[in-house]
């Protein structure tokens, strides 16, 4: 089989790239390879489960990778979720829609040495991908004719009972209302946005369409293949040229123009390593010949580490509004607000001095200067009406749950291969909660969240924390050590892994794997740093820009 472009991975970015390439140049032959199947018309995928849980995380459509035991979280293993179906994460996630702060993307551009990846450079692609619910929003920041329908929960009829008390509680501790989180200023209390449309989940392949794209389902990719050379014992000079993809079943699919890896943060580095692109010592352990010396493949793994807490309400969730049995709780994640907080710079400055040796020299100045900016959003809080992240908690209206999540995570893990077989999942060393900056930030964000729930007028509705079995409840006066102990014992990631084929380290700013011709990467593995906000809005913009780069087009609105 042969095509012009062969795309490995039918997740969010793979579907967008395949769709846009075909739309822009219908004569192109596009082949899209997906390890799962197309389940976009499955009722569970379209509508989620009920009540109070609209994700399919942990289902048979989820890879559910397991990390190695992690020393900074009580030697626990962690689940890392990724969609095993067409649409990838868009087939199983909660559908949250938020961008990072402008500074996140500006730092990215500095690390890559290319302004196309700055906030200003990405804005045309943010606009291109979305159809924003508020047609009066600033057109400099929002698009109104894109494939992805972006909704406000409130404007779409999901009127939850604690909406105003939650907003007032966080206002009371000094966090202002932010009318538009999409402008690059993410600080404060903002409307939670999602991509549920007409009460159905929007998957990337349905939003963009794959008409004319040749899709191969249920196919695991083994590696990319390089053009053969006559003198096989002599390593040729100059870049190596990729010409095909080899599937695990032995089938070879040739690319006349390029191979594009969109297999995700976990699988993309695995494919690269199995192809001989990586560090010599790692490859030699599995008798894989090194073709390209790329020691950063699989490094720089980052994620949005978080702590979840349950709270008992003084009255069940009738409160003059709907109970959890009401159908509105099956229409997207039941949450009103997304609350982004800063962290005191004096605490962070001391923490960063302890962490400085962990950053590469080229990253030190950019990252440390950025993190210390006033009102820099480093922690996100949400108050949810369903016990997401707390397995086994009853969904009876008596409890709410908070999530406090790192946005600017500085801890870095890595991914390595377990064997030369593509059927074996890679080894994941997530290294959550490793740096002092992450510890200071998450403890501060957790304390402030408890202040809003327990020390303001919101306490008229919230009785107190329901701690995990065998633990004492926390409040805003608990010690740093008590907060840290809870986070180490119970903290888990929000399943937003990124960075394992980082721009500037593995790929260049044109998304080409350095030292290789005809091979690009387009997925979250290229993020060189932790992007604030839930990743799907950023990924849609990245995929849109990737198509312009591949086709040599100038950006347009």
Binding residues for FAD, as ranges, are 221, 535-536
How far apart are alpha carbons 375 and 125 in whole angstroms?
26
- Here the tokens at position 422 are 């593509």
Q: How many residues does the chain have?
A: 557
- The candidate with the shortest Cα–Cα distance to 92, out of 60, 55, 59, is 55
Distance separating alpha carbons of residues 521 and 215, to the nearest angstrom: 19
| Spatial CA neighbour of 118 closest among 126, 109, 128 | 109
Point out the catalytic residue in the list 78, 222, 495, 534. Answer: 534
3-state secondary structure of 116: helix
- What SS3 class is residue 412? coil
Residue 534 annotated among the catalytic residues of the structure: yes
Report phi then psi at 493, rounded to 5: -80, 160
CA distance 203 to 85: 10
Strands 252-261 and 240-247: what pairing?
antiparallel
CA 2 and chain centroid, separation: 32
Nearest CA among 126, 161, 124, 129 for reference residue 145: 129
Name the burial class of residue 86, with classes exposed (0-12), middle (13-18) and buried (19+) by CB atoms within 10 angstroms of its CB. Answer: buried
* Tokens 């913009």 sit on residue: 541
Look up residue 457 and give its two tokens. Answer: 């007028």
Paired strand residues for 307: 404
What is the C-alpha radius of gyration for the chain, rounded to an integer number of angstroms? 23
Using CB atoms within 10 Å of the CB of residue 469, give its burial: 0 to 12 exposed, 13 to 18 middle, 19+ buried: exposed
- Which among 290, 242, 300, 266 is positioned nearest to 520, based on CA atoms? 242
What are the two backbone dihedrals, phi and then psi, of residue 335, each rounded to the nearest 5 degrees? -155, 145
Nearest to 376 by CA among 334, 342, 425, 399: 342
- The region that residue 3 occupies, defined by phi over 0 for left and psi between -120 and 50 for alpha, beta otherwise, is beta
Write out the binding residues. Answer: 221, 535-536
Work out the number of other CB atoms within 10 angstroms of the CB of residue 235: 11
Q: Which residues contact 266 (CB under 8 A, 6 or more apart)?
A: 63, 65, 80, 82, 415, 425, 426, 428, 497, 500
In 3D, which of 346, 375, 373, 338 has the Cα closest to residue 174?
Answer: 375
429 is catalytic: no
In the block, residue with structure tokens 């890879």: 63
What CA–CA distances, in Å, run from 230 to 120, 241, 257, 515, 533? Answer: 47, 14, 22, 20, 49
Distance CA 494, CA 118 (A): 25
Q: How many CB atoms lie within 10 A of CB 5?
A: 24
Residues tagged active-site:
496, 534
């Amino acid at each position: 089989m042969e095509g012009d472009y062969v795309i490995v991975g039918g997740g969010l970015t793979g579907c967008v790239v395949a769709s846009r390439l075909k739309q822009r140049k219908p004569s192109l032959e596009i082949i899209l390879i997906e390890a799962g199947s197309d389940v976009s018309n499955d009722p569970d995928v379209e509508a989620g489960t009920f009540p109070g849980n609209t994700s399919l995380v942990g289902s048979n459509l989820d890879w559910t990778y397991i990390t190695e035991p992690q020393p900074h979280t009580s030697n626990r293993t962690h689940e890392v979720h990724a969609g095993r179906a067409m649409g990838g994460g868009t087939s199983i996630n909660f559908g949250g829609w938020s961008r990072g702060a402008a500074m996140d993307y500006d730092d990215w551009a500095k690390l890559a040495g290319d302004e196309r990846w700055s906030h200003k450079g990405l804005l045309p692609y943010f606009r291109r991908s979305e159809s924003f619910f508020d047609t009066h929003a600033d057109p400099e920041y929002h698009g109104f004719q894109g494939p992805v329908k972006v909704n406000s929960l409130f404007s779409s009829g999901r009127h939850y009972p604690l909406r105003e008390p939650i907003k007032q509680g966080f206002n009371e501790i000094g966090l202002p209302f932010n009318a538009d989180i999409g402008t690059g200023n993410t600080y404060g209390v903002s409307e939670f946005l999602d991509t549920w449309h007409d009460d159905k989940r929007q998957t990337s392949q349905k939003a963009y369409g794959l008409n004319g794209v040749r899709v191969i389902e249920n196919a695991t990719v083994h590696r990319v293949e390089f053009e053969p050379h006559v003198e096989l014992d002599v390593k040729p000079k100059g870049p190596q040229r990729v010409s095909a993809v080899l599937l695990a079943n032995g089938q070879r699919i040739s690319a006349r123009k390029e191979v594009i890896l969109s297999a995700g943060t976990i699988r993309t580095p695995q494919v690269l390593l199995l192809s001989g692109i990586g560090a010599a010592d790692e490859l030699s352990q599995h008798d894989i010949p090194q073709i390209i010396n790329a020691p950063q493949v699989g490094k720089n793994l980052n994620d949005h580490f978080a702590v979840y807490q349950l709270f008992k309400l003084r009255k069940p969730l009738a409160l003059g509004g709907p109970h959890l049995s009401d159908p509105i709780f099956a229409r997207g994640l039941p949450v009103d607000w997304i609350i982004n907080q800063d962290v005191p710079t004096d605490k962070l400055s001391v923490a960063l001095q302890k962490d400085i040796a962990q950053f590469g020299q080229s990253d030190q100045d950019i990252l440390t200067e950025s993190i210390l900016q006033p009102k820099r959003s480093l922690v996100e809080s949400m108050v949810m009406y369903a016990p997401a992240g707390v397995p086994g908690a009853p969904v009876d209206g008596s409890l709410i749950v908070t999530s406090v999540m790192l946005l600017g995570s500085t801890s870095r893990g890595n991914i390595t291969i377990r064997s030369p077989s593509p059927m074996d999942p890679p080894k994941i060393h997530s290294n959550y909660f490793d740096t002092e900056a992450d510890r200071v930030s998450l403890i501060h964000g957790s304390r402030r969240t408890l202040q809003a729930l327990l020390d303001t007028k919101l306490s008229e509705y919230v009785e107190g924390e329901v701690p995990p079995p065998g633990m004492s409840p926390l409040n805003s006066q608990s010690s740093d050590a008590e907060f840290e102990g809870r986070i180490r014992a119970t903290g888990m990631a929000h399943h937003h892994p990124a960075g394992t084929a980082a721009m500037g380290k593995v790929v260049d700013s044109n998304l080409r794997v350095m030292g290789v011709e005809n091979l690009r990467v387009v997925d979250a593995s290229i993020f060189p740093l932790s992007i604030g906000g839930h990743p799907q809005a950023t990924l849609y913009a990245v995929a849109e820009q990737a198509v312009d780069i591949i086709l040599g087009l100038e950006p347009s609105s």
